[in-house]
Structure formats: structure tokens, C-alpha cells
Amino acid sequence: MGWLSRVFGGRERSGRPGRPGTAGPSRLEEDLAHLRDFATTRRGVEFYLEPETDGFDTTMVAVAHDGEWTRRRVGSPRTAGRLASSLNAPVYEAGVTGYPKRMKEWSRNHPERRLGPR
């Protein structure tokens, strides 16, 4: 980490505090456990990797066969890949492939589960 980053609280990796939207190590484990649980309790789960931004860590969206979905932080693309591999589930880059249509349809049919204000 450079001098300016130390002084002005620049970007940090690996789920350490330093910017909004980062998860500490225990929170990261909770997020990974949530994704693992989602994938093992639903059929046909695919993962969609979302890149790190200035405000948030790398995240991954898990989408089931019926379009139900969840999003959690994964810390890094390597961690995301390991999780998907351990679950024998495909992982796609969301910025390249986009999200499946069934995800949007599921959200439309389940407004009570949408994130954010309505």
C-alpha cells in the first residue's frame, strides 16, 4: 500500500475495512456460506461474477433454475471460482454474458423480495 493510500484510506483488498462495501473476514465467510447454502438447496444454480468497483468488493450472483437469485460478496474472482468449482456450478462474467432472463422475471413476480426502496 502506498503512502497516499495509507493517509487517505485508499482501496484495500481481501475484505479488509477501508472503503464502503467491504466485508471483514467473518462477514466474508458468512457471505460465502450463504451462497453455498443457496446453491445446495436449489436446482440448476449458475453463478454470475460481478467485478470489484471503487465502492464494493467483487460480488457474485447465484441464480436458480426458476430465476430466484441472491447476491453476496466473494472477495476476489479466485475465491468465486473456487466456490463455483467446489459446487460443480458454472460461473459467468456478468459484464460479458449479462444475467439470465428468468432472473428478471422472478424479480417481477416477487416484488416483496426486491432489494432497495420500492
What one-character-per-residue DSSP string does 85-108 give? HHTT--EEEHHHH---HHHHHHHH
> Which pLDDT score is estimated for 73?
94
Q: Kindly report the pTM of this predicted structure.
A: 0.75
Residue 16, pLDDT > 70, answer: no
What one-character-per-residue DSSP string does 18-74 give? SSTT---HHHHHHHHHHHHHHHHSSSS-EEEEE---SSS--EEEEE-TTS-EEEEE-
Percent over 90 (pLDDT), the chain: 63
Reported as a pLDDT band with limits 50, 70 and 90, residue 37 is: very high
Q: 68-99 pLDDT, tens per residue?
A: 999 999 999 999 999 999 999 999 999 999 99
> Which pLDDT score is estimated for 22?
57
Segment 4-22 mean pLDDT: 44
> Which pLDDT score is estimated for 18?
47
- Domain boundaries along the sequence of the chain: 3-113
Q: What is the mean pLDDT of the chain?
A: 82
